[in-house]
Amino acid sequence: MSKLYYTEEGRVLPSLCEELTTYRRARKVLTLPATAQPGRLYILARSHGEQSGPLRISLNGNEMAALEAITQGVYCWYDLEVTGLVEGDNVFELWSDATSMTGWSLGMETGRTDSGSSVSDDGGETWRKDRMGYLNAVLGEYVLRVRLEEGDDPEPPPMIWEDVRLPKFDSLREILPPAAKDHGPDLQRIRAISSWLASSWEHTNSARAVQYAPWDAETLLAWAPSQVGHNGKRPVAMCVHYAAALVGCAQAVGIPARCAVLTEAVNGYNGHFVTEVWLQDYGKWAVVDPNADATFWKNNTPMSMNEVQVEGENLKGCIEFGKGAEFQQTFPHMVEFVKDNLEKGVCFGHRSVWFRSDLISNPKFSPPGHGCLCYCETGLVWEKRDLEAGFGMFPFFGDRDYFDSPPLVTE
- Written as tens digits, the pLDDT of the chain (411 aa) is 899 999 999 999 999 999 999 999 999 999 999 999 999 999 999 999 888 899 999 999 999 999 999 998 999 999 999 999 999 999 999 999 999 999 999 999 999 888 899 999 999 999 999 999 999 999 999 999 999 999 999 999 999 999 999 999 999 999 999 999 998 999 999 999 999 999 999 999 999 998 999 999 999 999 999 999 999 999 999 999 999 999 999 999 999 999 999 999 999 989 999 999 999 999 999 999 999 999 999 999 999 999 999 999 999 999 999 999 999 999 999 999 999 999 999 999 999 999 999 999 999 999 999 999 999 999 999 999 999 999 999 999 999 999 999 998 544
Co-location of 262 and 121 in the same domain: no
Position 216 in a domain: yes
How long, in residues, is the chain? 411
Count of C-beta atoms within a 10 Å radius of residue 104: 27
The answer to whether residues 359 and 215 touch, using CB atoms and an 8 Å cutoff, is yes
Question: Among 94, 120, 148, which residue terminates a domain?
Answer: 148
Collect all residues with Cβ–Cβ distance below 8 Å to 173 and sequence separation of at least 6. Answer: 181, 252, 253
Among residues 114, 148, 182, which one ends one of the domains? 148
Q: Are residues 261 and 133 in the same domain?
A: no
- For the chain, state the CA radius of gyration: 22
- Assess whether 389 and 271 both reside in one domain: yes
Establish if 381 belongs to a structural domain: yes
pLDDT on residue 205: 94
What percent of the chain is modeled with pLDDT above 70?
99
CA dihedral 363, 365, 369, 371 (to 10 degrees): -110
Residue 271 near residue 261 (C-beta atoms within 8 A): yes
Whether 346 is in a domain gets the answer yes
> Is 280 a domain residue?
yes
The rounded distance, in Å, linking the Cα atoms of 97 and 54 is 7
- Rounded Cα–Cα distance for residues 161 and 157 (Å): 12
Tell me if 356 is assigned to some domain. yes
Within this chain, do residues 310 and 231 fall inside the same structural domain, yes or no?
A: yes
Question: Do 262 and 376 belong together in one domain?
Answer: yes
The gap from C-alpha 275 to its chain's centroid, in whole angstroms, comes to 14
Q: List, in sequence order, every residue forming a beta bridge with 18; answer none if it has no partner.
A: 106
CATH of the domain at 18: 2.60.120
Q: Is residue 153 part of a domain?
A: no
Separation CA 245–CA 273 (nearest Å): 12
User: Do residues 292 and 328 share a domain?
Assistant: yes
pLDDT at 411: 46
pLDDT digits (tens, 9 = 90+) for 117-133: 999 999 999 999 999 99
- Let me know whether 173 and 71 are in one domain: no
Q: How many structural domains is the chain composed of?
A: 2
Burial profile 338-377: b = 16 or more Cβ within 10 angstroms, e = fewer: beebbbbbbbbbbbbbbbbbbbbbeeebbbbbbbbbbbbb
Q: Do 364 and 229 fall into the same domain?
A: yes
- Position 254 in a domain: yes
Give residue-wise pLDDT tens across range 164-187. 999 999 999 999 999 999 989 999
Q: Do residues 255 and 173 make contact, with C-beta atoms less than 8 angstroms apart?
A: no
Q: Is the domain of 141 the same as that of 75?
A: yes
Which pLDDT score, from 0 to 100, does residue 291 have? 98
Distance in angstroms (rounded) separating the CA atoms of residues 239 and 245: 10
Last residue of a domain, one of 121, 148, 175: 148
Residue 287 structural domain = 167-404
Same-domain pairing of 247 and 387: yes
Cβ atoms of 109 and 26 within 8 Å: the answer is: no
Q: 362 and 220 in one domain?
A: yes
Residue 382 belongs to some domain of the structure: yes
pLDDT, position 409: 59
The dihedral region occupied by 127, where left means phi > 0, alpha psi between -120 and 50, and beta the remainder, is beta
- 131 shares its domain with 228: no
The DSSP secondary-structure symbol of 400 reads H
